[in-house]
Amino acid sequence: MSLLKKLQNSSLREKFVLVVSLVIVSSMLIISGYLIKRQNEIYHQELENRGQALVANLAYNAEFGVILESEADLNDLLKGVARVDDIVYAIVSAEDGRILAKIGIDEIERLNDYQDKAEIHDAPDKYTQRHFYDSDGIEYIEISYPVQTRRQQVSRENLGTVFGIQDDSYGLDTETIGTVRLALTTANLAEEITRSQTAAIILTIMVVFSAIIIMTAFVRIITQPIKTLVEVTDQISKGDLSKSVNISRRDEIGLLAESFNRMIESLKESQQEIEEYNRTLEAKIIERTRELEEAQTQLIQSEKLAGIGQLAAGVAHELNNPLGGILGYAQFTLEKMQKKDLNELAEKDYQSFKKYLRDIENQTRRCKAIVQNLLRFSRSSNKVEFTDTNINQVLEETLTFVEHQLVMNQIGLNKELDSSIPQIQGNPGQLQQVFTNMIINGLHASPAGTQMTITSKYLPPLGEFPGAIEIDFSDQGVGISEDNMKKIFEPFFTTKEVGKGTGLGLSVSYGIIKDHGGEIKVKSKVGVGTTFSIIIPLEKKAAPVDKAEIEK
Amino acid sequence: MVATSEKEILIVDDEEVMREFLSEVLEDFQVETASDGNEAISKMKSKSYDLIITDMKMPGVSGEEVVQFAKKTCPDSKIIVISGYSSLFSVGNTTRFGISAFLSKPFTIKQIRSEVEKSLKSSDSETDENEARNAG
């Protein structure tokens, strides 16, 4: 398992070399094993054949030596045989087992002990073949052959004329008179086999080594470009598309490198396209954002204009009243002055002139205050500056414009303004816009004869709460349905007739109060009335949090 | 300044400046003032006026109610409506509301004098006008 793992983790070259080496070694083992076995068999066979030929020859030539029981003749015969390789010993014995001659006496004695375990092997006719091993594990082959003679035909004249051909007609007449035993050693064979094995091992090692060298070189030729590919891929994965693979070959790796380079090229192109697209997209977004901002500014401006429009009637009325006084008194004064001689002005006339002029002055001041108030309302367009603001004062100023509308619609007004509230950081113009919106909304929702209550109160600091001003606008109007409640702060949502409202009032108000760090809460019950509560904290929070979040 | 001094006029306006100014302009007449609709109605209950000059927009009882009350209780009284709302009445539909004139603030002394004189004069010749209307 761990070996397999090791193999998996090794490099391509190592795997290659290992597999090829294994293949070479195993095939060499099989081949050389087979060859050695074959060599062994052939040698064995050859040795046996040689031994059989020799022993047959010996037996034939020993015929007369045995008959005569001539040890000298037999010894001469055996000495001639002893020169032959692989012969260990040779024994000629008579029919009754007496040994007539022998050579290799030492060996006969030495090997005598091992003869007990000898195995009898198949052998051709007349041969007896026994195999045994000495303590060194060397195999010995002992082949016996009978010494025979022809009884009837034995005569001094006939000797030497009979040759080894024995047909059946003779076989019946032959008589066994002794035995020749010849032992052969396979020591030389073992030596030969050891040499062959050594040669095979050396050859295998050489082949494996040269294979490893060739493999290494070959694998390097293959893996070198793959390494280059890996390096370039690595750089590409890090975003560097400047490199390309420099392999000019005609083989599969060359093709791979070529298509790899093509891939890098198309990657570069798509990256450029994406960058280009990103650039234009960014520009487009900036452009759209600018357009949206413009549209938004216009919308907010038009909401303000709509608000001003709603106020215009009230403003006109508000101005016309003092103007009526001014015009009247100015004309009245002029008229009186034209009728009378200025030198004869009675004290009474003088006093009434003074009163008229004072009235004119007062009414003019009133006009001025109204105009200033209106200006403040409309001026707060682009640059929003926060100053110390008295909420009650802003409420009163707002009411100068809209109070008459309440009166006209016969809606009673209750003011419950807490005179002890502290000043806040705010923009009076914007706040006036919000308050106007609240009052006009309530007014539009209220039937005649109902009451509107405007309350300001101070919520003192508590713990982390920095303290706040709460302004409530409560009406006894129709109320807001649950469905509409979710939408009232959405831009362009309106329940008023087309052309009567921009649908922006509350959303703009919401934005303004948000800019003041505050919030608008609504409580409403259909048929009972609605209360809008504006809560502005004394400490303005780090202002437009929303914008910062969007930018992130 | 001379002959019409017995004519009684009620001025209804929540603006004090307006009430004072009108009183002085119309000093040749018997002038009474009321600062809101309620006061005007209670005064009309006790007395019949030749001319009622009323503002339209007032807290509480509005000028409209004053006009309706006047037409109901003393149909002979002439009514002039003065208002800061110029769009409230156009010259064309004053008669439809049964009033003599509508003046939008600010108006000139000449305008108010001529409207007052016209209204009071027409009350003298009302009978003739009615006959003419019937004949028509």
What CATH number corresponds to the domain at position A458? 3.30.565.10
Over residues A42-97, the pLDDT tens digits come to 888 888 888 888 888 888 888 888 888 888 888 888 888 878 788 888 888 888 88
Q: Is pLDDT above 50 for A37?
A: yes
Return the residue of A nearest to B57 by Cα.
Answer: A408
Of residues A318, A323, A352, nearest to B106 (C-beta):
A323
Q: Is pLDDT above 90 for B11?
A: yes
Of the three residues A154, A181, A196, the one that is the final residue of a domain is A196
Domain contains A307:
no
- Among A226-240, A271-285, A332-346, whose mean pLDDT is lowest? A332-346
Q: Is A327's Cβ below 8 Å from some Cβ in B?
A: yes
- Among A159-173, A174-188, A382-396, A408-422, whose mean pLDDT is lowest? A159-173
Domain contains A271:
no
Domain contains A378:
no
> With pLDDT > 90 as the criterion, what percentage of chain A qualifies?
7
Give the distance from residue B37's alpha carbon to the nearest chain A alpha carbon, in angstroms: 13
Domain contains A71:
yes
Cis peptide, bond prior to residue B59, ω within 30 of zero: no
Give me the CATH number covering residue A125.
Answer: 3.30.450.20
The number of distinct structural domains making up chain A is 2
Residues of B in contact with A320 (CB under 8 A): 84-86, 104-106
Nearest CA-CA partner of B101 in B85, B116, B86: B116
What type of residue sits at position B76? D
Q: Is pLDDT above 60 for A151?
A: yes
DSSP assigned state of A117: G
pLDDT at B10: 94
H-helix or E-strand containing A524?
Answer: strand A519-525
Return the residue of A nearest to B110 by Cα.
Answer: A331
Spatial distance between the Cα atoms of A521 and A511, rounded to a whole number of angstroms: 13
Return the residue of B nearest to A410 by Cα.
Answer: B60
Spatial distance between the Cα atoms of B37 and B63, rounded to a whole number of angstroms: 6
DSSP assigned state of A381: S
DSSP assigned state of A528: T
> What share of residues in chain A are helix, strand, coil (percent, to 5)?
60, 15, 25
Structure tokens at A258: 């070529």
Q: Is A358's Cβ below 8 Å from some Cβ in B?
A: no
Whole-angstrom CA distances from A484 to A149, A191, A388, A510, A522 are 142, 112, 35, 16, 12
Question: Are B109 and A316 inside 8 Å of each other by CB?
Answer: no
Q: A272, exposed or middle or buried, with CB in 10 Å at 0-12, 13-18, 19+?
A: exposed
Question: Are B84 and A320 inside 8 Å of each other by CB?
Answer: yes
Domain that holds residue A181: 9-196
Domain contains A188:
yes
Question: What domains appear along chain B, each with residue ranges and CATH number?
Answer: 3-135 (3.40.50.2300)
Question: Are B86 and A323 inside 8 Å of each other by CB?
Answer: no
Domain contains A525:
yes
Give the distance from residue B65's alpha carbon to the nearest chain A alpha carbon, in angstroms: 12
* Assembly ipTM: 0.74
Whole-angstrom CA distances from A153 to A54, A61, A173 are 26, 17, 9
A104 conformational bin, left if phi > 0, alpha if psi -120 to 50, beta if neither: left
Return the residue of B nearest to A405 by Cα.
Answer: B57
Q: Is pLDDT above 50 for B14?
A: yes
Domain contains A438:
yes
Q: Is A328's Cβ below 8 Å from some Cβ in B?
A: yes
Residues of B in contact with A359 (CB under 8 A): 17, 20-21
Of the three residues A173, A196, A219, the one that is the final residue of a domain is A196
Give the distance from residue A329's alpha carbon to the nearest chain B alpha carbon, in angstroms: 7
Of the three residues A196, A222, A245, the one that is the final residue of a domain is A196
Return the residue of A nearest to B108 by Cα.
Answer: A328
Question: Are A326 and B106 inside 8 Å of each other by CB?
Answer: yes
Question: Are A321 and B18 inside 8 Å of each other by CB?
Answer: yes
